[in-house]
Structure formats: C-alpha cells, structure tokens
Amino acid sequence: MNLIAEQIETYKSIIETEGDTLLVNMGPQHPSTHGVLRLVLKLKGEEVVKIEPVIGYLHRGFEKLSENLTYIQIVPLTDRMDYLASITNELAYVLTIEKALKIEVPKKAIYLRVLTAELQRIVSHLVWLGTFGLDLGGALGGGSTLFLYCFREREIILDLFEEFSGARMMYNFNQIGGLRYQPPLDFFSKLKATLPKLKQAFAEYEEMLQENYVFKVRTKNIGVLEVSLAQRMGASGPVLRGSGLAYDIRKAYPYSGYENFEFEIPIGENGDCFDRAKVRILEMKQSLRIIQQALKGMPEGEVAIRPPVRVPTAVKVPAGETYMHIEAPRGDLGVFLVSDGTEKPYRLKWRAPSFSNLAVLPFISNGHKVADVMAILGSLDPVFGEVDR
Amino acid sequence: MNTLFYSLVLLAGILLVVAYLTWLERKFAGRMQSRIGPQRVGKPWGLLQPIADGAKLLVKEDIIPQATDKTAYNLAPIVVILATTLVFVTIPLGKSVVLVDLNVGVLFILAISSLALIGIFMAGWGSANKYAILSAMRGVNQLISYEIPLVLACLVPVILAGSMKLSSIVLAQSKVWFIFYPFLGQIAFLIFLVSALAEANRIPFDITEAESELIAGYTVEYSGMKFAFLWLAEYIHLLAVSLVGSILFLGGWNGPWLPSGLWLALKTLLLFLLILWIRWSLVRIRLDQILALSWKVLFPLSLATLILAGGWSFIF
C-alpha cells in the first residue's frame, strides 16, 4: 500500500504543471520513441523542464518464464530480448551455462562465435545509425535516406545469417557446447566478398560525421554526459565510451577468445550525441577488423562438443551461482544464474545495458529543446525488448 | 468569359501538375534511396499513383475530434489552399500567358503567400492538440523570421529591373539573367532559396511537421480531404516558389530555340528538383538554430545585398 501511495506521489510531482508549463505525454504510441517508451515531458515553450521515461509496455516476463523452461529451451527465448542483437544475447546466456558446467567448446566454435557476434554488432549499429537519422528528423527526408542506406548494408549481413542459421533475426544459433550448425560451404567466401562493400559504406558514414554540417549542428554539445554520472548510473557500451572512458568488456574481461584478437576501443571526448555516434561508427570499423582476423585464423573441425542432435537432451547445471557478462552492442550484458541442480534454472537475472543507459536520459536532457530529446534518446540506443524483458 | 475559362484551366492545371509533382518526388526519392518508388498503380512507372492517392483521400471518413474549435478547424484548410493558389493569378506562365499582369506583382505574391500562415495557425489552434499547438507556434516563429530575408531577396530583382511587374522583370533579363550578375545575383538567389524553403516548410526547415517529436504537427488531427488540402497546399506553395524563383532569378521564359513556356517549365522543374535533392539528403535543424540563421546571417546579408543592388542600378 505504501509503495503504491509513493508511486502516486511521484507521478503527481511529474504531472503538476505550474505557470506556463505544458505537459506532453509522448508515447507509448509515437513515431520515434523506439518501440514502446512513454515519455512524460514538462515543457516551457520549446524547452524541456522535466522528463520522465515510463517503461514496462513491452514486459513479457522472460525472467520468470525462464524458471519454467529447461536450460536448452531458454536459448530461443534470449533472442527475443534485444531483438536487434540476438546472437550476442544467445552468446551471453550460453557462455554463462558453459561457465557453470565448466566445459570447453571447440576452437572453431569460438572463432565462429566471435565472427558472428561482431557481424551482429555491425548489424545492430547499422540499425541504430538508421534510426538515429529518423530521430534527427526527416522520416520523409534525409533521415529516411540514411535509414535505407543503413538497411541496405544490413541486408547483406542478414542474408549471410539466413544462410547460416535459417533465420534473419531470431537465430537460435548458439547452443550449449558450441554452435548448432556448421557454416555452409560458401559462407566464408561470400563473407569475404561482402567485406569491401561494408568497408566502403563505413567510410561513407565516417565522412558524414566529419562533413555533414547539419548532422554536426544537431548533435554536438547535445546531451552531454559526464563520465562520473555515466559510471554512477551504470551506463556502459558506446554511451560510456562516448564520454571518454575506454571500458570494453572484450578488453577488460576477455571472453570467448577475444584476447586473441587485435582491435582498438574508440572513445569520445565530450560525451555528447556526436561522440556517441562517432564511437558507434568507429566501432563498426573495428568489428570489421576482428572479422578479418577471425576469417584468417579460422580453424577446421567440429563446431560443437557433440554432434548436433534433433531432440535436445537435458542439461543439468550443478547447484550454485554463476555470473557472466559480455560486451553486447549496447553495452555490458550480464547474466546471473542461480541453479539448484535441476534441469531448470532457479533464477535467471539479466543485466540489460539498455535499461541502465536509458536511466541517464532524465539527467542529460533538461534544458534542451524538444527536438533534442529525440536526438538524445536516439543516441542512447535503447531497445525495449531488453529494457522491459 | 475568357478570364473565367483561363482561371478554370489554370486551377485544373495546377492540381494536375501538383499531383504529378508528388509522383515525381516519390520516384526521385526512391532513386536517391536505392528503391524504385511507386510502380504498381498504372503500369508504366506507377503513373496513376497520384490519382489513386487522391481517390483514397476523397473517400476517407472526415473525422472531427470533439474538442476542436469547429470554425477554425474547418476553415483552416480552405484558407491555406486559397492563399497558396491565389498566387498563381499574377504569375506569367510564358510570354503573355497570365491572368492579371499586376504592376505590383512581386508585392502581391509575397503578401498573399504569407496569408497561408494564418491558416496554419488556425489549423494548429483549432485542433486543440498539444502537438498541433506547438507546431503552430513554431510555424509563426519561423514564417515571421523568414518573411524579411525573403522580401529583401525578392527586392533585388525588383531594383535591378526597376519594376514590380513580373513580365517586366523577365523582359529585363532578356540579355543576362539576374543570377549571373556577379556576387549580387548568386547571393540574392541563395537567400531567396533558403528563405523560400523555410516558408514552404521543407526539410531542413520543416519544424512545423517535425514527425520525430510532433508526429505530424498542425495536420495531426486532420483526415480525409481536409488533410489532403493542407498537404496539397504545401506542394502548390512549392510549385509557386519554383516558378517565382525561375522568373525572378533564372530569366523566366528567356532562352534560345525552345518556346517560352517550355523554357519556364524546364527552369521550374530544375528548381523543384533542387529542392527535392535538398530535402532527401538533409536532416532537420532545430527551431532556435533556424531563427538564429535567419536573424544573424540571412537578415544582415540580405540588407547588404539590397544596398549592393541599389549601387549596381545607380552605376549601370
């Protein structure tokens, strides 16, 4: 009862308008709230006085659902959380289980996991760049041009994923102990053929960062996020790196053989929207570097510790707690598993990067114009499948 | 009788041309975005698409939200489309093809086209919607700021030609088009283009219908034919801008070999495509940036250009 009363009080403090302020309820149905976010905005003319993100419109109860599924059945469920980066979700989950079971996967599987995770990072960042164009304005204009260019490049990679796993978005591709499939015979040659195309596209996007005056005017000095605030709010990924802290789990706590790859961590300087955009675009280039290295060093052999079987046998994780986190495209994706020795998890908690990144929004958008709120929200890149889970 | 016939033909012509300009824009945008654009309705190149769109909008239900101010809400589309269409009365479409060749033509065009602002504000206010009101306020801000550089830029050809009559302005360009006057012509044309883009609410200045935050701005509560009117008015305005721009700066119907009307049409099309190109390659800038651009850059620049034009016509 107290909790409810408290919530009502908080809500009242938001909706109370004094003087010449205007309360605008953006969403959950709105062209540019990235899915189903509701923003309660208090405006003074065009200026934002207060902003409150309201989440929960895409809550599907995945964590509770997981408690009633076997470890193997959970893998396809993870695809549906951050639906723009399914493979990294699977990877985080699968690595957690493997860590709990203390099993080693074949080297080829490790390399393919890195390869696909980096491809997924590129796909995710491409979707982000496209939608960021829409956020900056011009769903019927330049923004949609950028959007469609990004989707053109994304399509190339999705076609490869489709050949590999049979699906374009929900891959169900990693499995406990390796990968579900061997790559098709011409997968590597096709991938090699597409790399120059991607390289050229990324060069174009980088040029846009440097040359496009309107893009710079709209993003520079907008939504400046201090490093200390970012750390305090638990922001991670490109949002944190945009503020100038070179924290990347691939380097800090290497997993799945990332210590064998050479790459740099691009960082920003001011922590504004422009820097977050810059970090993501440069990251795509680094991902390409990793992919090239993975292609070069790709070993032969099996991709799973046992041959793929149609009907999965039960996996029993010994009782205990396991935590594993990886660098998803949006940041620090953590999985906390409490197992009780049965074939179902006792508790499976996800630490979603989008959730923590979104929490920064009210602190960095005060005093900006309404149009900038969309730019800031876009630069944080939340995916609501992951925020609400 | 002749006048009546001409005006009917003009009105029908405008609507037809505007309908196909939307088709052109969709095709053009499609090509820019590595798509094909409309191609299903009307076998070669989707040529019947604008007609299908029109028919769809005609049969749509006309929804009037309860909280609206009915008079303002219902009147707004008519005001907007009237103000934008009335401009064509004095625009010559070729040598001696004009309804009324007013001797204050430029003034008339500027005065009437800015009346559309009242319609936009009526639409925004009458809709009783927060997004629409924000959009209407933005529209007023923007249009008032850009009216001044636009007028000053339009005055440059007037000074150079020594007349406000559009046909005289074209006659004065029979040797050299105004855009080829060193510095003066190019700067004035640039100011005209930028302010006209802002007046026409086109990207990068389309903050009134900024869909990323205001959904559809002042048109958000409109549906059916009323929406179509507001939307058509935008394109009619764009056509008028392209026409006036090519008359004031690009020498109107002057040009060798081809008939006068065709020259004007070609120049108008060129200008229209330029505007499309700008639209489909830029993102929107913010209201305060738009106002800063107007008052800090365009306004002083247009004043300077005006003085330069005065000096030019004094010397030569």
pLDDT in tens, A87-99: 899 899 989 988 8
Alpha carbon of B68 to those of A222, B58, B74, B229: distances in Å? 36, 22, 9, 18
What is the chain B residue with the closest CA to A215?
A: B283
Residues A69 and A35 in one domain: no
CB B154 within 8 A of CB B192: yes
Q: How confident is the model at residue B163 (pLDDT cuts 50, 70, 90)?
A: confident
Q: What residues of chain B, 171 to 210, have a C-beta less than 8 Å from chain A? A: 203-204, 206-207, 210
Residues B153 and B100 in one domain: yes
- What are the tokens at A20? 């010449």
The DSSP bridge partners found for residue A322 are A337
What integer pLDDT is reported at residue A13 of this predicted model?
A: 63
Distance CA A168, CA A191 (A): 16
* A30/B286 touch (CB, cutoff 8 Å), yes or no: no
Q: What is the pTM of this model?
A: 0.86
Largest CA distance in chain B: 63
pLDDT in tens, A157-215: 899 888 888 888 888 888 888 888 888 888 888 888 888 988 888 888 888 878 888 88
Residues B19 and B46 in one domain: yes
Q: Please tell me whether the peptide bond between B50 and the residue prior to it is cis, using omega within 30 degrees of 0.
A: no
Pairing of strands A38-44, A47-54: antiparallel
pLDDT in tens, B40-58: 888 788 888 888 888 888 8
pLDDT at residue A135 above 60?
Answer: yes
**What total number of domains does chain B contain?**
2
- The closest CB to that of A30, out of B29, B215, B289, belongs to B215
Residues A304 and A254 in one domain: yes
What integer pLDDT is reported at residue A308 of this predicted model?
A: 52
* A133/B283 touch (CB, cutoff 8 Å), yes or no: yes
Containing structural domain, residue A29? 2-54
Residues A20 and A147 in one domain: no
**What total number of domains does chain A contain?**
2
* B212/A218 touch (CB, cutoff 8 Å), yes or no: no
What integer pLDDT is reported at residue B115 of this predicted model?
A: 86
pLDDT exceeding 90 applies to what percent of chain B? 2
Distance CA A72, CA A315 (A): 7
Residues B162 and B280 in one domain: yes
- B57: phi then psi, degrees, rounded to nearest 5: -65, -30
pLDDT in tens, B222-240: 888 888 888 888 889 888 8
What integer pLDDT is reported at residue A336 of this predicted model?
A: 92
User: Which residue has better confidence, B77 or B98?
Assistant: B77
- The closest CB to that of B212, out of A31, A145, A214, belongs to A31
- The closest CB to that of B284, out of A24, A26, A136, belongs to A136
What integer pLDDT is reported at residue A60 of this predicted model?
A: 87
- What are the tokens at A349? 């908690």
Mean pLDDT of B256-280: 86
Residue A19 burial by CB count (10 A; 0-12/13-18/19+): exposed, middle or buried? exposed
pLDDT at residue A3 above 70?
Answer: no
Which of A36-44's residues contact partners 24+ apart within 8 Å by CB, and which partners? A36/A384, A37/A358, A37/A377, A37/A382, A37/A384, A37/A387, A39/A373, A39/A377, A40/A14, A40/A15, A41/A370, A41/A373, A42/A14, A42/A17, A43/A370, A43/B134, A44/A20
pLDDT at residue B256 above 70?
Answer: yes
Residues A37 and A78 in one domain: no
Residues of B in contact with A139 (CB under 8 A): 211-212
pLDDT at residue B25 above 80?
Answer: yes
Residues B26 and B148 in one domain: no
Domain boundary among B44, B59, B74: B59
Mean pLDDT of A71-95: 88
| DSSP SS3 for B194 | helix
Residues A47 and A66 in one domain: no
Distance CA B234, CA A221 (A): 33
Interface test with A, best of B283, B286, B289 (most A CBs within 10 A): B283
Residues A108 and A255 in one domain: yes
Residues B67 and B145 in one domain: yes
Distance CA B219, CA B216 (A): 6
Q: Number of residue pairs across A and B with CB atoms under 8 Å?
A: 105
pLDDT exceeding 70 applies to what percent of chain A? 93
What is the chain A residue with the closest CA to B216?
A: A31
* A139/B213 touch (CB, cutoff 8 Å), yes or no: no
ipTM, two decimals, is: 0.81
Residues A84 and A167 in one domain: yes
Residues B153 and B263 in one domain: yes
A223 touches chain B (CB under 8 A): no
What integer pLDDT is reported at residue A18 of this predicted model?
A: 64
Residues A169 and A264 in one domain: yes
Q: How confident is the model at residue A306 (pLDDT cuts 50, 70, 90)?
A: low
* A217/B285 touch (CB, cutoff 8 Å), yes or no: yes
Residue A211 burial by CB count (10 A; 0-12/13-18/19+): exposed, middle or buried? exposed
Domain boundary among B43, B59, B75: B59
Distance CA A44, CA A24 (A): 11
What integer pLDDT is reported at residue A125 of this predicted model?
A: 92
Average pLDDT taken over every residue of chain B:
85
Residues B133 and B179 in one domain: yes
Q: What is the gyration radius of the CA atoms in chain A, in angstroms?
A: 21
Residues of A in contact with B285 (CB under 8 A): 137, 214, 217-218
User: Which residue has better confidence, A18 or A114?
Assistant: A114
A369 touches chain B (CB under 8 A): yes
* A24/B130 touch (CB, cutoff 8 Å), yes or no: yes
The DSSP bridge partners found for residue A336 are A323, A349
Average pLDDT taken over every residue of chain A:
85
| DSSP SS3 for A327 | strand
Residues of A in contact with B282 (CB under 8 A): 138, 141-142, 214
| DSSP SS3 for B51 | helix
The DSSP bridge partners found for residue A25 are A40
* B206/A141 touch (CB, cutoff 8 Å), yes or no: yes
Containing structural domain, residue B41? 1-59
Residues of A in contact with B32 (CB under 8 A): 145
Residues of A in contact with B211 (CB under 8 A): 31-32, 137, 139-140
pLDDT at residue A19 above 70?
Answer: no
What is the chain B residue with the closest CA to A218?
A: B285
Residues B28 and B165 in one domain: no
What integer pLDDT is reported at residue A310 of this predicted model?
A: 53
Residues of A in contact with B283 (CB under 8 A): 133, 136-138, 141-143, 146, 214-215, 218
HSE, side-chain direction, 13 A CA sphere, residue B97: 13
pLDDT at residue B1 above 70?
Answer: no
Smallest Cα distance from B186 to chain A, Å: 21
CB B166 within 8 A of CB B90: yes
* B283/A149 touch (CB, cutoff 8 Å), yes or no: no
Residues B142 and B217 in one domain: yes
pLDDT in tens, A223-246: 888 888 888 888 888 999 988 888
Distance CA A229, CA A245 (A): 12
Residues A11 and A78 in one domain: no
Mean pLDDT of B251-260: 78
pLDDT in tens, A347-380: 899 998 998 888 888 888 888 888 888 889 888 8
Residues of B in contact with A370 (CB under 8 A): 134, 213-214
What integer pLDDT is reported at residue A215 of this predicted model?
A: 84
What integer pLDDT is reported at residue A54 of this predicted model?
A: 85
B134 touches chain A (CB under 8 A): yes
Among candidate residues A355, A320, A383, A337, the one with its CA nearest the CA of residue A95: A337
Residues of A in contact with B213 (CB under 8 A): 26, 32, 370-371, 373-374
pLDDT at residue A86 above 80?
Answer: yes
- What are the tokens at A144? 């949609």
pLDDT in tens, A249-287: 888 888 888 888 888 889 888 888 899 998 999 999 899
B313 touches chain A (CB under 8 A): no
A142 touches chain B (CB under 8 A): yes
pLDDT at residue B72 above 60?
Answer: yes
Q: How confident is the model at residue A123 (pLDDT cuts 50, 70, 90)?
A: very high
Write the CATH number for A384.
1.10.645.10
What integer pLDDT is reported at residue A373 of this predicted model?
A: 87
What is the chain A residue with the closest CA to B279?
A: A141
Interface test with B, best of A43, A44, A218 (most B CBs within 10 A): A218
pLDDT at residue A20 above 80?
Answer: no
* B212/A137 touch (CB, cutoff 8 Å), yes or no: yes
Residues B29 and B110 in one domain: no
- What are the tokens at B154? 């339009």
* B282/A141 touch (CB, cutoff 8 Å), yes or no: yes
* B203/A138 touch (CB, cutoff 8 Å), yes or no: yes
- The closest CB to that of A371, out of B131, B137, B286, belongs to B286
Residues B52 and B93 in one domain: no
Residues of B in contact with A144 (CB under 8 A): 33, 280
Mean pLDDT of A32-47: 81
- The closest CB to that of B281, out of A140, A142, A148, belongs to A142
Residues A42 and A104 in one domain: no
Residues A116 and A19 in one domain: no
- The closest CB to that of A214, out of B279, B280, B283, belongs to B283
Residues B200 and B97 in one domain: yes
Q: How confident is the model at residue A33 (pLDDT cuts 50, 70, 90)?
A: low
Residues of B in contact with A145 (CB under 8 A): 29, 32-33, 280-281
Residues A178 and A43 in one domain: no
- How is chain B split among helix, strand and coil, in percent rounded to 5? 70, 0, 30
Domain boundary among A17, A37, A54: A54
What is the chain A residue with the closest CA to B282?
A: A142
- The closest CB to that of B203, out of A24, A142, A152, belongs to A142
Q: Look-up: residue for tokens 């164009």?
A: A133
Interface test with B, best of A134, A368, A370 (most B CBs within 10 A): A370
What integer pLDDT is reported at residue A388 of this predicted model?
A: 84
Residues of B in contact with A141 (CB under 8 A): 203-204, 206, 279-280, 282-284
CB A304 within 8 A of CB A180: yes
Distance CA A169, CA B238 (A): 42
What integer pLDDT is reported at residue A122 of this predicted model?
A: 92
